[in-house]
Structure 1
Amino acid sequence: MTSKDLTLGAAPPDLATVRDLMHGLIDLIAANMPRIQETRYDITIKPDGSPVTASDVFLEHLIRDHLAARIPGVTFAGEETFEAGTTPLESDGYYAILDPIDGTENFCSGLKEWGVSFTLWHGGKHLGSLLLMPELGEHLMTGDSIVPVQSRIRGFSSSMHPEILSGMESTQESRLMGCAVYNLYNVVRGAFARFTNPRGAYSWDLLPGLMLAMEHNCEIEVEGKPYAGEFLEPGKKYRVDIRHRYDLHPGQGSVD
């Protein structure tokens, strides 16, 4: 069975089938990169002051339709089309959450550090998650093995907050990259020793990366409490702090 003819049934599939579905998403996005690039600078400013491009909307609709054709009855929550109160987590059935272009400010400014964030659940249980950075040619999905990197860098979200300023003052090396997918990918693989978002981000920004961080033994706090893989409702913001667990390299020092 190929990703083109893959259809999930009513019962939860095995990991191999979910990975096939996510590889199909990677192929779909790659095939549509010319169209995505074409409207990269077609920008609208949302009421909250953040940008959205025609590419965000195009990609969300593309992936939503792709999933709907392959997952009967899937509940879909995408950043660009989500409406509060319309997509509750059901006790059974499939639930997909998507951020089609995370780091839109980077994307519409011509930077390559942007990504696609996707997670799939069934009956309230996690099936698989994907972080994809198309222009960097990198991705991480559930079931992948990684060779950990050892770093002393602490990453922060780019939405300014007093805790970020104080954290940067006390940390030897810090980075603000403006893309949750990029930040989460790098703390999971150890290129960041720690990633902190004290202001909060939405479920579609965070949940896929949190599930991958759990899989690779990171220490995670959500809203100041240990995180154990709970579903995070779309439309709400969550503060997160993630520490990579692998041994620090010599001279790394504290990342507090």
Structure 2
Amino acid sequence: MSTAALPKTPPVDLQQTRALMQGLITLVEDNMSQIQAMRYDITLKPDNSPVTAADVLIEQLICDYLTARIPDITFAGEESFTSATDLTSDGYYAILDPIDGTENFCSGLKEWGVSFTLWHGRNHLGSLLYMPELREHLMTGDTLVPVQSRIRGFSSSMCDEILEGMTATQESRLMGCAVYNLYNVVRGAFARFTNPRGAYAWDLLPGLMLAREHHCDIEVEGQPYHGEFLEPGRKYRVDIRHRYDLHSG
């Protein structure tokens, strides 16, 4: 992959941040053959959830990509994050889920994605939701032509609240991928997305920031969300509604 057009200094404006994220997309695209070859190289975590060799590969590729361009960046990836990772400085830091929806990925489904967000101190610079095999993405600064839907999406972590919500909703979906769910509620293909059991910041924060950008109504832990930083390593319950009244047509 050519890096001649990519920023070599820390991003200071939206154009540079978008160029950085577009380079990240290109990086994953250029390595898709190797990523797909690792699809069924699976290890189970202590909580019995799967992680593949591709999760580890993508995280390392993106970590290397970022540190080459922002040498002092603090990186928090799902597969490498520990409680010792310091995200309290005023510098640059990135949060990444290399493969959100790993159960889908290692089962041969295409509904999985890369979830990425870049911050400076507590200031959000840009976020990206990217689904390589569906060839779709949404990043900070993109425009959307919204669609209208009556579908309510739910997380796949089944609980009584989800069962009750599905019973009360005429059309509902469980897709098993936060990137897919968040992307679709932002663009209006889901009228609402609810995760009542909670997910981690690397699952949610990029999508929440994009949902704010596109004027969705957002609750985190039952309270209105105004773009606050979410700490990695803990789970957050979310409920997002697409606001069709804010769009023409």
TM range (shorter): over 0.9
Offset at 1:8? Answer: 2.3
Q: Deviations over 1:73-113 (max 9, x none)?
A: 000000000001322331x1101000000000000000000
Indicate the RMSD between aligned Cα atoms, in angstroms.
Answer: 1.4
Structure 2 CA distance for aligned equivalents of residues 30 and 18 of structure 1: 19
Counterparts of 1:134-213 in structure 2 under 5 Å?
Answer: 134-213=132-211
Q: Deviations over 1:27-74 (max 9, x none)?
A: 000000001011100000000110000000011001001100001200
2:111 to 88, 106, 113: 113
Structure 2 CA distance for aligned equivalents of residues 161 and 247 of structure 1: 31
- Note if 1:100 corresponds to 2:101: no
**What residue is the counterpart of 2:217 in the other structure?**
219
Does structure 2 retain, via aligned residues, the 8 Å contact 1:3–1:20? no
Q: When the two structures are superposed, what TM-score results if normalisation uses the length of structure 1?
A: 0.93
Q: Deviations over 1:199-228 (max 9, x none)?
A: 000000000000000000000000000000
**What residue is the counterpart of 2:8 in the other structure?**
7
Structure 2 CA distance for aligned equivalents of residues 27 and 39 of structure 1: 19
**Alignment partner of 1:113: what SS?**
coil
Structure 2 CA distance for aligned equivalents of residues 86 and 111 of structure 1: 32
Does structure 1 retain, via aligned residues, the 8 Å contact 2:219–2:240? yes
Does structure 1 retain, via aligned residues, the 8 Å contact 2:148–2:244? yes
Does structure 1 retain, via aligned residues, the 8 Å contact 2:104–2:176? yes
Q: What is the identity, as a one-letter code, of the residue corresponding to 1:236?
A: R
Which stretch has the larger CA shift, 80-89 or 104-113?
A: 80-89
Corresponding residue pairs, total:
245
Offset at 1:182? Answer: 0.1
CA spacing shift, 1:164–1:120, aligned 2, 3 Å: same
Structure 2 CA distance for aligned equivalents of residues 13 and 166 of structure 1: 46
The runs of at least 4 aligned residues of structure 1 exceeding 2 Å deviation read: 1-5, 85-89
Q: What is the identity, as a one-letter code, of the residue corresponding to 2:44?
A: I
Structure 1 CA distance for aligned equivalents of residues 174 and 4 of structure 2: 36
**What residue is the counterpart of 2:56 in the other structure?**
57
Offset at 1:231? Answer: 0.3
Does structure 2 retain, via aligned residues, the 8 Å contact 1:25–1:63? yes
Structure 1 CA distance for aligned equivalents of residues 145 and 215 of structure 2: 13
Once the two structures are aligned, what percentage of the paired residues are identical?
A: 76
Structure 1 CA distance for aligned equivalents of residues 161 and 182 of structure 2: 19
Q: Deviations over 1:174-216 (max 9, x none)?
A: 0000000000000000000000000000000000000000000
Q: What is the identity, as a one-letter code, of the residue corresponding to 2:195?
A: N
Q: What is the identity, as a one-letter code, of the residue corresponding to 2:148?
A: Q
CA spacing shift, 1:141–1:66, aligned 2, 3 Å: same
**What residue is the counterpart of 1:252 in the other structure?**
none
**Alignment partner of 1:69: what SS?**
helix
Unpaired stretches in structure 2, ≥5 consecutive residues:
none
**What residue is the counterpart of 1:245 in the other structure?**
243
Structure 2 CA distance for aligned equivalents of residues 87 and 104 of structure 1: 26
Does structure 2 retain, via aligned residues, the 8 Å contact 1:95–1:121? yes
Structure 2 CA distance for aligned equivalents of residues 212 and 233 of structure 1: 17
